[in-house]
Homo-oligomer: A and B are copies of this chain.
Amino acid sequence: MSYFTKRYHPPGTAPGTLVKRKKISARPLLISIIDYDATHLQEVTDATAQQCKLYLSQPTVTWVHVHGHAEPEVLRELGAIFDLHPLAMEDVLNTGQRPKAESYDGQLFAITSLPVFASKAVRTEQISVFAGESYVVSFHEGKNDPFEPIRKRLRKDTGRLRTRKADYLLYALLDIVIDQGFPVLEAFGEQIDSLENALLRNPDKRTLTALHHLKRELLLLRRMLWPQREVLNILLRDEQVPITNETKLYLRDCYDHTIQIMDLIETYRDMTASMLDIYLSSVSNRLNEVMRVLTVIATVFIPPTFVVGVYGMNFDRSVSRWNMPELGWSFGYLFVWSVMALMIGGMLLYVKRKKWF
């Protein structure tokens, strides 16, 4: 994930302007409609914006899902049909928004972040949802469709989902987006566990890089998931939001999940901080060990090397009897060895007592 993922218009652009952007995904735009009530269900895949109009007029719940790269024209068409606010549509187009929830005259608009774990990295995809009394319009630009389980549940004509109104569908969509956090964080937990083992056993530069990447991803993930708590808070507390008390019971469960996810992210962050301390301590410990060996070797061998140097000097013993008389002693050589043995022994003793060895 990059640090700056938000798309924005140049400052000064009129608010609500929908500008054509550079295509970022090759995936073509796909509108799918599911229209249902307790007794019947109709499904249109690859629909046009105009087809939505038909279903909207009926008392059934209509779910329009726009998957892929949304073109400004399609957005404008949908905006006209469902009476979407231009500021909200701008946020749909400019993905990378912070999750938020707003209500415009009885219509609810929510932006959420879908965490996706792919190829050892995590990223978030924006999912935008509009909800009225009898319709839900959702937008998603990412690769894989997270809402397939909802479709399966809808197709079965039993279950709570079919008998409730659009607000329960909205809950179901939010619930699936938020719960995607659990498998992602489970994967993170395993990464941290294995990194921790590596750290305590044999830390090297790669461990440090991995740790830094982990911290970075947790930071960015937190930035995108933290505001979801607020989104649910608004849905639960705001009096203007058109959600029944029964659905609120379920949203409360969803709210608990956002808190659990934040708890996990905070715990992970604390843990990575502690792991960096361990890394630094390990590096210091190793340096200590290296230096102890160097010092032991130097301490033991440098002094006797000086001694043998002394008796390697070439002073002319024939000139005076003061010049290196030791060289002429019968036991000079043995004497020097004894001196050196004492030196080495003393140093080893000293070093042993210091517990460097």
Interface residues in chain A, defined as those with a beta carbon under 8 Å from any beta carbon in chain B:
2-4, 6, 8-15, 85, 87, 97-98, 100, 102, 104, 146-150, 153, 159-161, 175-176, 179-180, 182-183, 185-186, 188-190, 192-193, 200, 205, 208-209, 212, 215-216, 219-220, 223, 249-250, 252-253, 256, 259-260, 263-264, 266-268, 270-271, 274-295, 297-299, 301-306, 308-317, 319-320, 322-324, 326-334, 336, 354, 356
> Is the CB–CB distance between A186 and B4 below 8 Å?
yes
Give the shortest distance, in Å, between A183 (CB) and chain B (any CB): 7
Instruction: Check A308/B298 contact, CB under 8 A, given A11-B183, A281-B280.
Output: no
**Set B147, B150, B189, B331: member contacting A322, Cβ < 8 A:** B331
Give the shortest distance, in Å, between A49 (CB) and chain B (any CB): 24
Chain B residue nearest to A226 in the complex (CB): B263
> Is the CB–CB distance between A333 and B323 below 8 Å?
yes
Give the shortest distance, in Å, between A189 (CB) and chain B (any CB): 4
> Is the CB–CB distance between A3 and B189 below 8 Å?
yes
Give the shortest distance, in Å, between A302 (CB) and chain B (any CB): 5
Q: How far is the CA of A208 from the CA of B293 in the complex (A)?
A: 21
Chain B residue nearest to A337 in the complex (CB): B310
Chain B residue nearest to A104 in the complex (CB): B249
Q: How far is the CA of A190 from the CA of B289 in the complex (A)?
A: 31
Interchain Cβ contacts under 8 Å between A and B, 6 examples: A200-B209, A205-B285, A212-B274, A283-B288, A309-B312, A315-B333
A179: chain B residues at CB < 8 Å are 8-9, 11-12
> Is the CB–CB distance between B322 and A14 below 8 Å?
no
Instruction: Check A256/B159 contact, CB under 8 A, given A208-B278, A279-B281.
Output: no
Give the shortest distance, in Å, between A203 (CB) and chain B (any CB): 10
How many identical chains are in the complex? 5
Instruction: Check A331/B320 contact, CB under 8 A, given A3-B271, A182-B6, A280-B281.
Output: yes
A102: chain B residues at CB < 8 Å are 252
A215: chain B residues at CB < 8 Å are 274
**Set B98, B149, B185: member contacting A260, Cβ < 8 A:** B98
> Is the CB–CB distance between A259 and B98 below 8 Å?
yes
Chain B residue nearest to A289 in the complex (CB): B354
Q: How far is the CA of A206 from the CA of B12 in the complex (A)?
A: 37
Q: How far is the CA of A287 from the CA of B292 in the complex (A)?
A: 8
**Set B146, B220, B260, B319: member contacting A330, Cβ < 8 A:** B319
Q: How far is the CA of A13 from the CA of B332 in the complex (A)?
A: 85
Question: Which 7 pairs, one residue from A and one from B, show the smallest C-beta to C-beta distance?
Answer: A12-B149, A4-B189, A308-B309, A11-B179, A320-B330, A311-B313, A3-B189
Give the shortest distance, in Å, between A84 (CB) and chain B (any CB): 13
Give the shortest distance, in Å, between A98 (CB) and chain B (any CB): 5
Q: How far is the CA of A304 from the CA of B148 in the complex (A)?
A: 74
Give the shortest distance, in Å, between A266 (CB) and chain B (any CB): 8
Q: How far is the CA of A326 from the CA of B313 in the complex (A)?
A: 11
Q: How far is the CA of A330 from the CA of B193 in the complex (A)?
A: 63
